[in-house]
Amino acid sequence: MDFAKIKARYENELYERVIPFWERHCVDRQYGGYFTSLDRDGSVYDTEKYMWMQWRIVYMFARFAVAQGGNDRWLEIASQGYDFLTKHGKSEDGTYYFALNRQGVPSVAPYNIFSDCFAAMGAAAMYKATGEEKYRLEADSAMRSYIRRMDNPKGRWEKGLLGKPHRLSHGHFMMLANLAYEMRTCLGSHEYDEAAEQAVNAVTERFWNPEMQILFENINAEGPAFDLDSCEGRMVNPGHGLESMWFMLQHAEQKDDTALISRAADIIKGILAFGTDREYGGIYYFMDALHKPHLELQWDMKLWWPHCEALIACLFAYRLTRDDFFQQKFVELDSWTWQHFRDPDYPEWFGYLNRRGEVTHTLKGGKWKTMFHLPRCLFTCAAQLGKL
């Protein structure tokens, strides 16, 4: 591999095509915040403002401003978004709504703790970029809210009743580990280190089934962890697993934990073995641990974000282990991902393909896609390639 050449390709895509696309099209200069429902050419097709997507944009522009030595233009974009979200986005109990309308009036209740998760990330990145105390206070507030809500994520918005099993969600724990890393890196805070260790242990010990070589998305809170008699219990999300494992490697490298590096690398191999489509290439969106019918009809689609996370995971694992498997897998995934998701005619990438790799939706942003997974992938891969 010519690491320098690949790094240049990733950086050129990031700085010449992806960031300019969002800078040009996402900023709502009338009301504040961002447009995320963007069509192929960047035109806005819906003005709803989803909190996950909004806070992710704050995070990315603040992070890129720091990476570029303090880009005032990008920091201003992040700052106005932060101001809009903290002014309009918090409910009476301090949690963040799921969505606002364009003007900032709440439109969807704060039923999802990932709004708090990404608020913590965005505020922490703003503190890193500016050193202003208000951002640190908001990051800690959102972080503590996230941790507080983990045992009952939806709170009074929960629809499940007594007959619904009490499950633990892999996503909640993987994000806690990453959030703690962000708090250490951006705030210099070690307040959440113990919580991070517990989250890392949960992911690698409780959600991972070594006999089946599968990382489960949902496990039982009490009794036998793995429920193979329900669709929810058999749920596998390869993209989540790969994202989770580079979070584990990030944590392990910072802690100089060689045993965790080895364990995470082995889990990545298991996820890739199970989650790769050997007929058409790429990585499945959802899977069933026993290959039974999946409730999600789009289970066999190919989405941009699992492939972004796979690229990061493979490079991270290769750099830390020098296991040639990860280099070879990166080359394979790099070729498939760039060939199928990159839009040759307009900036930003397609997000949704069918199993064969054909584009099904031409949008560049929406309720679930924003300026996050792709630019973070390009940026993080370039950093890993630089170290290699």
Could you report the per-residue pLDDT of 23-63, keeping only the tens digit for each?
999 999 999 999 999 999 999 999 999 999 999 999 999 99
Q: How far apart are CA 317 and CA 245, in angstroms?
A: 9
Q: How far apart are CA 218 and CA 358, in angstroms?
A: 30
- Taking CA atoms, 126 is separated from 129, 183, 245, in Å, by 5, 12, 26
pLDDT given for residue 21 in this prediction: 98
pLDDT tens figures, 260-302: 999 999 999 999 999 999 999 999 999 999 999 999 999 999 9
CB 196 within 8 A of CB 180: yes
Mean pLDDT of 343-352: 97
Token output for 222: 């009490």
pLDDT at residue 90 greater than cutoff 90: yes
pLDDT given for residue 202 in this prediction: 98
Which residues touch 353 (CB under 8 Å, ≥6 apart)? 282, 301, 302, 303, 340, 341, 359, 360
Contacts of 306-309 with C-beta under 8 Å, sequence gap 24+, read 306/238, 306/239, 306/240, 306/242, 306/275, 307/239, 307/282, 307/283, 307/333, 307/336, 307/337, 307/341, 308/337, 308/373, 308/374, 308/376, 308/377, 309/239, 309/240, 309/242, 309/243, 309/246, 309/373, 309/377
Any idea what DSSP says for residue 95?
A: P
pLDDT given for residue 138 in this prediction: 98
The residue type at 364 = K
- Taking CA atoms, 54 is separated from 111, 156, 233, 312, 384, in Å, by 16, 24, 31, 23, 27
Mean pLDDT of 372-386: 98
Q: How far apart are CA 375 and CA 126, in angstroms?
A: 18
The whole-angstrom distance between residue 203's C-alpha and the CA centroid of its chain comes to 16
pLDDT given for residue 277 in this prediction: 98
The residue type at 180 = A
pLDDT at residue 70 greater than cutoff 90: no
The residues that bridge with 37 in the sheet, in sequence order, are 46
**Mean pLDDT for the chain?**
97
pLDDT tens figures, 149-170: 999 999 999 999 999 999 999 9
CB 251 within 8 A of CB 200: yes
pLDDT at residue 105 greater than cutoff 90: yes
pLDDT tens figures, 201-245: 999 999 999 999 999 999 999 999 999 999 999 999 999 999 999
